[in-house]
Every structure is written in C-alpha cells, then in structure tokens.
Structure 1
C-alpha cells in the first residue's frame, strides 16, 4: 500500500514535509537570496522551476497549489511547457538564466522562499509518495 501526501487538514505542513524530504541532496543553496526575477517578493512563497521534459507534474502542482502560498512558475530551458490554470509561467532566456544562477541540478525544483531567501529546496522526480 502506498501513501500519498495528504491534501486535507494542513496543506502547508504537507508541502513542508514534502520539501524537507530531499533537501540534503539539493544543489540549490539554502539561505541564498533568489536571483533577479520579474515578480514582487512575498513574505513566503513557493517557486517551481521546471522544464518541458519533467513528465506529468500534476501531483506536484496540486500539492504546491493547496499549500495556500503564492506560487511562481518558472519554465526554464527555452521550450514552452504548461503550468496549471491561473499561473502564468516565466519563460525564455531570463528564466533559464534564473535556474542556472540558482544551480538547479534536477528539474523540477521546488523552492520554499521567505522574504526573498531560499528557506528549503527539493529537486528531482516527484512521485507523490512520502516514503
């Protein structure tokens, strides 16, 4: 039997647990400020950096969107890929440069950001399983 991230009760806690699982393998440096970007920083927000070849990100997007935080979609590597309805992804050379300045090693990368600084990071394939 597999267990999936719960979406009921405490969606932010579920997202934090999800993000905390792989932070030790993240190449993104925790505590660093975000590189230049086109949005105004929020107190706390989630940044998802992804590419066209990440596969089905449906469960990842669902977990991120139910966390109750502002979400920024960054479509890197120059090939357009969709984001969930209501999110306008940042695309193009600047978005790719942003991902490279972050030193994203594996897409998708999910960043929990507080006051413009990276609080937590998760990189890699997302299966929706907490085990």
Structure 2
C-alpha cells in the first residue's frame, strides 16, 4: 500500500471515511475550552484514548493532510502520538471529549475558525 503525501483535504476526509461513521459530535459547534491557540484557519483535532489500538495509518493520513494537528489523549491513561505532536492529557482533555459528545475513539475533527466543520468517529482501517 502506498502512503499519501501532502494529501488534499478532500482526500483526507475520503480516506477517513467521512459520513460512514455515526458521529455524535455536532457540526458547526464551537470547540469546548482547550489549551491551544490557533493561527491557522483550518486544523485537525484527533481525540483518542489508550484502547484505540494501532493508529499509525490514521496518524499518517492526518499528518499528510498538511494541516496543523492537535492531539487530545482522553480517559486519563497516556497513549503515544507521533513525534512532534504534543498530546493534551488529563482530566481537562477527557472533559473536552465529553463536552464534544465524542461517541467513539478515535474521533477526527476538521475545525475551521474554532468550529467543527466535519467529524469522523470509529475504527480506521487505512483503506482508500
């Protein structure tokens, strides 16, 4: 399987299977309070937990999007993120996920102007 490089935004969403999962995160909603400031108009937020399994292909697809990436490691058990990504952890990270009404980990959010533009929840299989 060939890895995508600098994938356009549409390719990222298709790769993730946007629309296939039953996301409970509400589109158009502002993000709950978080510790980062964003200079980018669009960014990707990955909300995950320790029991997501191997997220290597998911992380690669997200990183290949070329957008800034935020990682939220919820549920109080540390889980790794790719080199260069500093995950937000702890009780506030879990509260962030719950305030979003995340239904499954991992959840990938496309955020524009601080609001959820698109959301995908579920198991990533790396199929495109």
**Common fold by TM > 0.5:** yes
Change beyond 3 A, Cα 1:66–1:93: same
Tell me the residue number matched to 2:73.
Answer: 75
Q: Which structure 1 residue ranges, 4+ long, deviate > 6 Å from structure 2? A: none
Work out the CA distance in 1 between the residues paired with 2:126 and 2:61.
9
Q: Which runs of 5+ in 1 are unaligned?
A: none
TM-score of the pair, normalised by structure 1: 0.89
Distance verdict in 2 for CA 1:105–1:5, change over 3 Å: farther
CA contact (8 A) 2:18 2:120 kept: yes
- How much does 1:21 deviate? 2.7
Offset of 1:57 from its aligned partner? Answer: 0.1
Corresponding residue of 1:87: 85
> Unaligned regions of 5+ residues in structure 2, if any?
none
Q: How many residues align?
A: 127
1:47/1:26 CA distance change after superposition, 3 Å: same
Partner of 1:35: 32
2:14 is aligned to: 17
Q: Distance in 1 between matches of 2:110 and 2:53?
A: 22
> Residue 59 of structure 2 aligns with which residue?
61
TM-score of the pair, normalised by structure 2? 0.91
Contact 1:12-1:66 within 8 A present in 2 as well: no
Distance 1:58 1:10 in 2: 16
